[in-house]
Amino acid sequence: MSEAPAPRSALVALFIRELQIGRRIGGGASLGVVFFLILVTLTPFAVGPDLVLLARIAPAILWIAGLLATLLGLDRLFQADHEDGSLDLLLMSRAPIELIVLVKCFAHWLLTGLPLVLAAPFFGLMLALPANQIASVALSLLAGTPALTLIGAIGAALTVSLRRGGLLLAVLILPLCVPVLIFGVAAASGPSDSAAPFLILCALTLFALVGAPIAAGAALRRMGE
């Protein structure tokens, strides 16, 4: 009789599966970057052609666009597994549900958050962002977007049994993302005065890294009872 796979190999297999599913359903890098680009492109039409004003609000625009783009596909983070019965198997597996949540969040961030970080400098140039702020914006997004994904996992776990729960998920998690948004924009303001906000942003991400899998795992266990 064959033995059950070890938790580590099971988590690696889950990670590969999440990447394959994310690419196949089309909700990954391309969709997030296109949505990001649309929001950035529409902004000059809304605020006018004032380059000084655009440069001043560019960090906030990029962060808001990143936040909204990160929401894409979050409602399907656990819902697809719930619909096909895979979630029950994950809950009964030898691997802790918290690690499973963490692996799924990491795969989701690689497909949605990381492409936004890589595209942010180019979109910043479209908004007349000064050259000395481009690195600050990219670093702040790199440090903060994982927290957005982890916080979103809590909402995804709470709405996993609801059909079309995407709107409710956004209502639940957007208030929780406000601190990340505030310190992310402050960290992207420039290299001279962004050290303290950047450290706080990193602390928020670390806090979400610890707390979000526990909260999402508890919600999934309650749903499975």
CA 169 to chain centre: 13
- Phi/psi of residue 19, nearest 5 degrees: -65, -40
| Amino acid identity, position 148 | L
Query: What band does 65 get if pLDDT is binned at 50, 70 and 90?
Result: confident
| pLDDT at site 4 | 45
Residues contacting 81, CB < 8 A, separation 6+ = 87, 90
- List the structure tokens of 95: 């691997």
Which pLDDT tens digit goes with each residue over 48-62?
A: 778 888 888 888 989
For residue 60, what are the domain limits? 7-224
| pLDDT at site 207 | 95
Q: How far apart are CA 36 and CA 14, in angstroms?
A: 28
Show the CA angle centred on residue 216, arms to residues 83 and 64, nearest 5°: 95
The per-residue DSSP string of 50-103 comes to: -HHHHHHHHHHHHHHHHHHHHTTTGGGTTHHHHHHTHHHHHHHSSS-HHHHHHH
The verdict on residue 141 lying in a domain is yes
Number of residues in the chain = 225
| Amino acid identity, position 111 | L
The verdict on residue 2 lying in a domain is no
Residue pair 69/123 in contact (Cβ under 8 Å)? The answer is no
The verdict on residue 63 lying in a domain is yes
From 91-100, 134-143, 202-211, the region with the lowest mean pLDDT:
91-100
The verdict on residue 1 lying in a domain is no
Which pLDDT tens digit goes with each residue over 146-173?
A: 999 999 999 888 888 776 666 788 888 8
Q: How far apart are CA 97 and CA 108, in angstroms?
A: 16
Q: How far apart are CA 144 and CA 29, in angstroms?
A: 17
pLDDT at 220 over 80: yes
Q: How far apart are CA 106 and CA 146, in angstroms?
A: 8
Domain count, the chain: 1
Query: What band does 90 get if pLDDT is binned at 50, 70 and 90?
Result: confident
- Phi/psi of residue 189, nearest 5 degrees: -70, -25
More confident residue, 4 or 120: 120
